[in-house]
Amino acid sequence: MFATRRIRFCPACGAPAEYRVPADDNRERAVCTGCGLIHYENPLNVVGTVPVWGDQVLLCLRNIEPRRGLWTLPAGFLELGESTTAGALRETEEEAGAHVELQELFTVLNVVRVGQVHLFYRARMLDTHLDPGPETIEARLFREHEVPWDQIAFRTVRQTLEHFFADRRGGRFGVHVGDIG
Amino acid sequence: MFATRRIRFCPACGAPAEYRVPADDNRERAVCTGCGLIHYENPLNVVGTVPVWGDQVLLCLRNIEPRRGLWTLPAGFLELGESTTAGALRETEEEAGAHVELQELFTVLNVVRVGQVHLFYRARMLDTHLDPGPETIEARLFREHEVPWDQIAFRTVRQTLEHFFADRRGGRFGVHVGDIG
């Protein structure tokens, strides 16, 4: 169900783990049958940007699975040691080689089914130089009517783009929080 | 440095793991010396609320470590299978036994040093009935001048409270994104 693998052995001591509800808890956890340590599993954050140049937004054609050959906003897993803003900037650099100035937080979208929270920031492109990394086949700017809506890789990306164009028409950008069913 | 423990054994097969930079990566990861699986470690989300009743906010006196005996907003780790809003509501119920209606996302605070992202929502209390769980010594409503500022458990809680009272004075609640140094 979730992206995380089941824990079969204790990462601390290597003894077999078993799933049971620990004392003072109400959920099944992986508990080590050797050293007794409890290993928690929690949702992951995906961070990215909506890079904007004039009336165009930047999309990346994915060169990796899942969803190779479909278009995405630059985004990826938040790493230890970085903030959500630093992670969003890093992914924009890695996947598109774009130079951007980060703006406001724009969407916070729960993807409960896979245990993820996606956070997208708006970003102002500083120039149109692009230098996509190995995860990207091609990075390209799209006007709203040019967006390949039937070839978008993820529902969080689609929803973020829909909010972006709607807010831009409305003349005001909000922060959109929602769930992907 | 981070809250997560180092991975010494492969959670999938139990063989020893070693930290090295895998091919096509640029960071050290725990890689299994047996089955070769890569085990990623990522920041965790803490979700909570600012429960409001009239001109008062609800704080909980912690009955657990860390920071036992200090005051906090109801908050805790986001679990697999729930959205950030569902998690914030659950923690409010578990730690304070308060009945609230969730309002807007209010703060998104990176605590990079410990690998956490804290998300707080404003919440309207539906009544003043409180029934704190075992993690809480006491739950109590505070007016701004009554808040025990020198006994607040976490800097994200302090900063969220400061933003709350400032925004309330200003007559408009925003979404505040920031880093805890």
Instruction: For chains A and B, count residue pairs whose Cβ atoms are closer than 8 Å.
Output: 122
For chain A, percent of residues with pLDDT exceeding 90: 95
CB contact under 8 A, A12 and B16: no
- When CB atoms are compared, the residue of B11, B105, B112 closest to A5 is B11
- Residues with Cβ < 8 Å from B37, sequence gap 6 or more? A5, B10, B12, B13, B31
CB contact under 8 A, A7 and B2: no
> Mean pLDDT of all residues in chain A?
95
SS3 letters across B31-61? EECCCCCEECCCCEEEEEEEEEECCEEEEEE
DSSP notation for A133-158: -TTEEEEEEE-GGG--GGGBS-HHHH
CB contact under 8 A, B11 and A17: yes
- When CB atoms are compared, the residue of B9, B41, B79 closest to A80 is B41
pLDDT digits (tens, 9 = 90+) for A73-102: 999 999 999 999 999 999 999 999 999 999
Q: Are β-strands B75-77 and B136-143 bridged in parallel, bridged antiparallel, or unpaired?
A: unpaired
Q: What is the mean pLDDT of residues B120-127?
A: 98
Report chain B residues whose CB lies below 8 A from the CB of A133. none
pLDDT at B1 over 80: no
Stated pTM of the model: 0.95
Query: If you ran DSSP here, which 8-state letter would residue B140 be given?
Result: E
Under the banding of pLDDT at 50, 70 and 90, the label for residue A2 is very low
CB contact under 8 A, B13 and A10: no
pLDDT value at position B24? 85
> Mean pLDDT of all residues in chain B?
95
Under the banding of pLDDT at 50, 70 and 90, the label for residue B4 is low
pLDDT value at position B149? 98
Q: Of A88, A131, A83, which Cα lies nearest the Cα of A106?
A: A88
What the block records as the tokens of B101 is 């209606």
Q: What is the mean pLDDT of residues A164-178?
A: 97
pLDDT at A1 over 70: no
Looking at chain A, which residue has its C-alpha nearest residue B18?
Answer: A11
Q: What is the mean pLDDT of residues B137-161?
A: 98
Rounded CA gap, A146 and B177, in Å?
A: 32
pLDDT at A42 over 60: yes
Q: Of A42, A37, A78, A30, which Cα lies nearest the Cα of B6?
A: A37
CB contact under 8 A, B175 and A105: yes
pLDDT digits (tens, 9 = 90+) for B90-107: 999 999 999 999 999 999
Write down the ipTM of this complex.
Answer: 0.94
Under the banding of pLDDT at 50, 70 and 90, the label for residue A3 is very low
Looking at chain A, which residue has its C-alpha nearest residue B84?
Answer: A110
Q: Of B51, B74, B56, which Cα lies nearest the Cα of B64?
A: B74
pLDDT value at position B3? 47
